[in-house]
Chain A
């Protein structure tokens, strides 16, 4: 192009063929277009807001919210909008964390069952995956909520499990552990047990290294810790924890842990749906480990559990981690479907705030930023995890 030495350098390239100039020109045109478009939208918005008698600022956040929130951290209707929004954020995080934990366990079990050598188990897992993957999540959540949980017996006729777990149309009531004065003694016991276990773990690890044999390094440490913990539990005067049992008082149960029907429906729906996707992720991850690896492990004398722990899982996890991350992010974002059944998550509360104040633009901004922060935090953690398992492997 321009460094053609036979022609004189002074010959100018026409501007419409000068790539350097065109690059700048294109970007300027593009930027002007974007700015113009936003400008038009912005002036329209200001005009619309003026028509509604609203101004664009965040002062309303310090006003009294005035609406009640059914569940979550401590909150009164007399608290500010900012506090109300925070309650929603915490509820979203609570649902997401519980949902992710349960969906991972379910997905792991179903994914391994999908590869079982047992024909019936394998096909049951396949049916589960296909059914729950191919039905919209919102439909599933509505089904659990209106067709299952709200159709449960009334409070007086609650389903009772183990004598102290009650399930009825108003939710689930579980016993909750309450620490007693003896809890400190038990915690001290645990600390001693932990130190002992750590010493045994390191000793066993060294021994295994010296013998150059594969093995389970916590073989001595784990039972030791459990024994110390158990002995400590029974030696503590009055036991470290007592169970607060839910009991029928008046028209409802009181005490213990209470899970609302909305919370249950949302979590069940999210877990069943995401679990099916995670199962597929786990299955493809395990299948990605070459069969020769397992045969080689068998050949050097590893048993089935050791093969899984030392050979298959470390390699499968590398394949599993990235798609698993996106499933976790999906679950977090899908928790916004709470708005359909009235669970007070961050989007639902934001929506109520919009209806009350009319400040839709700043509230939408807050909602989007909250989701972006949660997403970024999740993917940052998973990226860190991904790097870690990759480093161990190589």
Chain B
């Protein structure tokens, strides 16, 4: 406020301009960096720190580092040992997912549209890099094609709300669809899971972990809140045991115990890892879902009883639809941490993104390039993980939970 004014004094007839937000550069600096003596000191220290770190990193990245290792191995970073002549199947999966995303964005708009924009722009950016940098890749315009699919689907279907059930059904089918294409069917040569690898494997492990553990987690959560003591005890014991133990233990256990417990089945390493990840993820999923269940007021249960619904119908028609909506952000959060946690399959010798990074480092052609390879892997993980947490923030906003 400018000047002092006593209560009851008449307002002079001059219009005071509202204070402007725009400040001069110097004012901004003073307000944000040098407002007190210790802040000035902190600023100076931070500048010195930044200078040292950036100078070190930049001079290393542009003079010492040998980045050739990345483009030369890009293919195995992305899909591992997936056969070269079958990679088009991976592209089919990517195109399908892009199509589905475009359709959803067109039909629902809002959140789906924003998701599509985030994924489309990340994909488009990467696509441009792939298309115009001298990288030996079988399909250099593939990602841009995927983005084109997304955009075309969006404009084709925009506003046709009647198609919603079909698109939902499409999403349900997309998971088995992905698995069938990657694994092979009918006349296609089978690509066994043992040759899946790289980023592809990382994403599939995380997706399987979330998708398969979802029904299990819902059942466990219902079990934990059940009034039947036996079911409650068993569910609680399972959830608490799994949550108290590191994922590495469970992965190792799946590797070693599954052949002992189920000697009649031939389950390969990756399937065993998927089993371990799913059983692990189910316990965390159950806790997330339980949070949602607890947020449903008792009146909802009572109302459902009053209209004569039995337990399964109460849950299916009344409680779960509300509970699951409120736990979507938590499930996205779990997907992000699972995406990072899948890197642990490296420890049991699978070749996910991190496992591939380790093999590339061990390759005698590329000795001594640990920092470059790990940094590349870190950037890939970061891009995925960061954009997913951005998406999760948007979802939280959109759902208002």
Contact = CB atoms under 8 A, between A and B. Distances in A.
Partners in one complex: yes
Interface of A: 23, 26-27, 30-31, 34, 41, 44-45, 47-49, 51, 116-121, 124, 130-131, 133-140, 142-143, 146-148, 151, 329, 333-334, 336-337, 339-340, 347, 351, 354, 360-361, 364, 367-368, 371-372, 375-376
A333 B246 contact: yes
Given A27-B230, A44-B260, A375-B244, 20 more contacts: A23-B227, A27-B231, A31-B230, A41-B261, A118-B39, A118-B46, A120-B33, A120-B43, A134-B340, A137-B340, A138-B343, A138-B347, A139-B381, A146-B361, A146-B370, A151-B371, A354-B256, A364-B256, A368-B241, A371-B246
B343 A136 contact: yes
A49 B43 contact: no
Interface string B237-262: 00001001111110011001101111
B173 interface: no
Contact of A124 (B46, B231, B340, B385): B46
A136 B381 contact: yes
B141 to A, nearest CB: 29
Contact of B260 (A339, A347, A351, A361): A361
A368 B249 contact: yes
Interface string B352-393: 001001100100000000110011011001100110010000
Contacts of B361: 146
Contact of A26 (B231, B247, B264): B231
Contacts, number: 154
Nearest to A43: B261
Contacts of B344: 138, 337
A140 B340 CA distance: 11
B343 A139 contact: yes
Nearest to A28: B230
Interface of B: 32-33, 35, 39, 42-43, 46-47, 49-50, 227-231, 234, 241, 244-249, 252-253, 256-257, 259-264, 340-341, 343-344, 346-347, 354, 357-358, 361, 370-371, 374-375, 377-378, 381-382, 385-386, 389
Contacts of A124: 46, 49-50
Contacts of B249: 336, 347, 364, 367-368, 371
Given A27-B230, A146-B370, A339-B248, A118 B253 contact: no
Nearest to B336: A134
* Chain B CB within 10 Å, residue with most, of A119, A124, A337: A119
Given A118-B39, A142-B358, A339-B248, A48 B260 contact: yes
A385 B227 CA distance: 31
Nearest to B253: A364
A371 B340 CA distance: 22
B354 A147 contact: no
Nearest to A34: B234
Contacts of B346: 138, 340
A137 to B, nearest CB: 7
A333 B347 contact: no
Nearest to B38: A118
Contacts of B227: 23
A67 B32 CA distance: 59
